[in-house]
Chain A
Amino acid sequence: MKLRALIADTFREIYAKKVILGIVVIEVLTLVITGLVVGMISDSYENARVTTSSSVITAVEYDSTEMADTVADRLLDFPEDSAMGATTDTTTPSKILEITPADSVQLRSASSQESLVTEMVRGQLAAYSTLVGVAVFLLAIFATAGIVPSMMEKGTIDVLISKPVDRAMLLLGRTLGGIIAVGANLLLFVLGIFAIYGIFSGVWLTSFVVWTFLISFFGFLVFYSFVVCMNILSESWVLPMSLSYIHIFLFSSFLSNREDTLYLFITSPVAQAIIDGLYWILPQPFDLVEANRSLVFSGMVSSYAPFIQGGIFILVMSAVAVWRFRRKDF
């Protein structure tokens, strides 16, 4: 009852501050654009349905080359690229076949039962999952970074603490409010994309919904636990938000690809050990997004480490947050 009242109040505040409204507008626009683009290229799905099974390799090839693209490239170019790629590729299968790399041959056996159009949708949605992951980090952190600080404002927190509610419950109600709002929003958005693709291509790729929702949500929780912890320690909402953004867009991709980037010029074993340590301590959004993409695309994931690491990170951050919040002077 008390918890419900706290969560309900958080919803009211989120609603009143119109942050979520702004995000919903962005999402609806994105869905509309997606609908238009997918509608425009829906012919390519039709074409794909009637082509021979040899084209399966083409689609697989298209996707595996894309896998090597950077996140940013995929974000910017994906709709036109995939549309054009799919149509031009199907007309010239033999040429592509010659340069088929080994991994796509491997994939072919697993996916040869599926139709070409499923493969196309799979590839496009896998790319889309990256977009969703990055957008969730960006928007959801922005939307929720102020929720705990606004409760801790002078005059607000005093009344709350004077009520017979444990401080941990105050914090839980507040954060749960934000988490549920983000989760519901995310689920609707992912379902929207799922439906658009389903309608235009006839392929209802449930694994996209499941993985993208779960992993993006999980990634959000990892960062939100950090944001809340820093909210309490620093009494600021800008600082944890900025740190999260810097990590997501800068550090994490370097840390995740440290062997191919940083270690090229940092050769000291001590420095490398420190960087390794940082990689394992800090959130790994890059790896999570990558795992998501790979799960949607192939149903497989190279490593569960980012999930285990994320889970431990959430636990540690939450424990520190609750501990500090319960002992804090207001």
Chain B
Amino acid sequence: MANTAIQINGLEKIYKGSGRKSQPIHALKPLDLEIPNGQIFGLLGPNGAGKTTLVKLLLGIVFPTSGTATIRGRAAGTTTAKQIIGYLPENHRYPNYLTGFGVLRYFGQLSGMDNQTIQRRSAELLEIVQMSQWADTRIKQYSKGMMQRIGLAQAMLNNPEVIFLDEPTDGVDPVGRREIREVIAELKQQGKTVFLNSHLLSEVELICDRVAIMNKGTLVTMGTVKELTAMQKLWRIEVEQPQQPQLHQLLARIPTATATGNSILFTAETLNDLNHAIDAIRSAGILISTVRPERQSLEDLFIDIITEGGAK
């Protein structure tokens, strides 16, 4: 328990449909999940998968239909839990008559921080998100990426132990994205837990310790990026002389194989299948130089899962 940042037990959310004809929406099917301290946890999923719903449940912005959750042992949604939480919502908006610093001061006050601490933390954070020169500009004049940066600073203001970031790099340019990744990595260095919702798979791949993929309100798969991408049944078999006619005859008989250059990509359901294929290649007198599992990119996996889910 002491090592758990977020503990979720059977958490479920059904939105009552608004309007007369609309159906209730089962946004989150009962979910059990445990996220350890000090990790960057990435939640992936297509639009409408229920990622934001899960985060909102953990913050008490919406109420669960059933189930419970705790954040570092504190019941989710309570004021005590919120004391150790930072949150950057998707489509966040701040009073646009405030300056960047004004936003931080306002939310600092709401977090119960004293003015001196607010001053000090704001200066630090504005530096970290590279917004110092904009601190006294009204946020009415901010660009989207600048809003995102000030939002990130706002989420880190009260030095939270657990930080929820819903699409933090949305609308941010590539340089800015890298900077935000660095900020997130730095949070991990400080021992914080980061819960990251994202569409950007490459980004998740780069920084997350653990990744979960959600579709239609269900957690489809979870693991480290390495585990997830290695789970695939694709093998690369490299051969010495790829131009041999025997090879072409052979490939014609194995429908799941394709040849490119001097390698063959082969999909095998089981290790037996793989070894049969190797036997066949060997018995044709072809020399094999390498056999190795092919890593699928997270994006391929993601699309696989989503389209499978869609086909069901």
Is there contact, CB below 8 Å, between B97 and A158? no
Is there contact, CB below 8 Å, between A330 and B109? no
Is there contact, CB below 8 Å, between A156 and B110? no
For B101, what are the chain A residues with a Cβ–Cβ distance below 8 Å?
none
| Nearest opposing residue in chain A for B52, CB measure | A158
CB distance from B247 to the nearest CB of A (A): 59
Given the interface pairs A162-B61, A164-B82, A329-B63, the reply to whether A155 lies near B89 with Cβ below 8 Å is yes
State A161–B56 Cα separation when bound (angstroms).
Answer: 10
Q: CB within 8 A of B60: which of A1, A2, A161?
A: A161
A290 within 8 A of B: no
Chain B, residues 78-100, CB within 8 Å of chain A (1/0): the string is 01101101110111111101100
Given the interface pairs A13-B95, A159-B94, the reply to whether A329 lies near B110 with Cβ below 8 Å is no
For B79, what are the chain A residues with a Cβ–Cβ distance below 8 Å?
164-166
A50 within 8 A of B: no
Is there contact, CB below 8 Å, between B87 and A1? no
In the complex, identify which listed stretch (A4-12, A120-128, A293-301) lies at the interface while the others stay far away. A4-12
B111 within 8 A of A: yes
Given the interface pairs A155-B93, A156-B93, A329-B63, the reply to whether A162 lies near B82 with Cβ below 8 Å is yes
State A329–B15 Cα separation when bound (angstroms).
Answer: 9
For B63, what are the chain A residues with a Cβ–Cβ distance below 8 Å?
327, 329
For A153, what are the chain B residues with a Cβ–Cβ distance below 8 Å?
93
A95 within 8 A of B: no
B19 within 8 A of A: no
| Nearest opposing residue in chain B for A326, CB measure | B63
A282 within 8 A of B: no
A23 within 8 A of B: no
B59 within 8 A of A: yes
Chain A, residues 144-165, CB within 8 Å of chain B (1/0): the string is 0000000001111111111111
Is there contact, CB below 8 Å, between A330 and B110? no
CB distance from A5 to the nearest CB of B (A): 4
Is there contact, CB below 8 Å, between B110 and A5? yes
For A155, what are the chain B residues with a Cβ–Cβ distance below 8 Å?
89-93
B112 within 8 A of A: yes
Is there contact, CB below 8 Å, between A154 and B91? yes
For B109, what are the chain A residues with a Cβ–Cβ distance below 8 Å?
1-2, 4-5
Is there contact, CB below 8 Å, between B95 and A162? no
State A153–B56 Cα separation when bound (angstroms).
Answer: 15
For A6, what are the chain B residues with a Cβ–Cβ distance below 8 Å?
110
For A156, what are the chain B residues with a Cβ–Cβ distance below 8 Å?
93-95
CB distance from A267 to the nearest CB of B (A): 38
A308 within 8 A of B: no
State A16–B80 Cα separation when bound (angstroms).
Answer: 33
Chain B, residues 18-61, CB within 8 Å of chain A (1/0): the string is 00000000000000000000000000000000000000100111
| Nearest opposing residue in chain A for B138, CB measure | A16
CB distance from A220 to the nearest CB of B (A): 25
CB distance from A172 to the nearest CB of B (A): 13
Q: CB within 8 A of B95: which of A9, A161, A329?
A: A9
Among A28-45, those with CB < 8 Å from B are none
For A157, what are the chain B residues with a Cβ–Cβ distance below 8 Å?
61
Q: CB within 8 A of A1: which of B98, B112, B164?
A: B112
B154 within 8 A of A: yes
Is there contact, CB below 8 Å, between A330 and B92? no
For B90, what are the chain A residues with a Cβ–Cβ distance below 8 Å?
155
Is there contact, CB below 8 Å, between A159 and B154? yes
Given the interface pairs A2-B110, A329-B15, the reply to whether A161 lies near B59 with Cβ below 8 Å is yes
| Nearest opposing residue in chain A for B83, CB measure | A164
B62 within 8 A of A: yes
For A4, what are the chain B residues with a Cβ–Cβ distance below 8 Å?
109
Chain A residues packing against B (C-beta within 8 Å): 1-2, 4-6, 9, 12-13, 15-16, 153-166, 327, 329-330
- What are 11 A-B pairs with beta-carbon distances under 8 A? A2-B109, A15-B97, A16-B97, A158-B56, A159-B94, A162-B82, A162-B89, A163-B110, A164-B111, A165-B82, A330-B61
- Nearest 9 pairs of A and B residues by beta carbon: A5-B109, A162-B87, A16-B97, A155-B93, A158-B89, A329-B62, A164-B82, A163-B110, A155-B91
